Structure 1
Amino acid sequence: MGSDVVWHAHKVCREDRELQNEHRACLLWFTGLSGSGKSTVAGLVEEKLHAMGKRTYLLDGDNVRKGMNRDLGFTDEDRIENIRRIGEMSRLFVDAGIITLSAFISPFRSERQSVRELLGGNDFIEVFVDTPLTTCERRDPKGLYQRARDGLIKNFTGIDSPYEAPQSPEVHIINDGIDPDAAAEQVISYLVANKYI
Structure 2
Amino acid sequence: MDLGSATSLSMQCTCGAFKARLERPRNALRVVCYCRDCQSYSHYLTTYAPLKLDQHGGTEVIALAPEHLKLEQGAEQLRCISLSAQGTYRWYTHCCGSAIAVTPRQARLAHVSIAASALRDAGVDVEAAFGPLQVVANRASAHGNALPRPTKQSLFILLYGMGLLLQRSTGRWRENALLQPGTWQPIVPVHVIERTQRQRLLALAEHRPHTRSRIVLRW
TM-score w.r.t. the length of structure 1 is: 0.29
Structure ranking higher on relative contact order (CA contacts 8 Å, 6+ apart): 1
Larger Cα Rg: Structure 1 or Structure 2? Answer: 1
Report the structure, 1 or 2, having the larger strand content: 2
TM-score w.r.t. the length of structure 2 is: 0.27
Report the structure, 1 or 2, having the larger helix content: 1
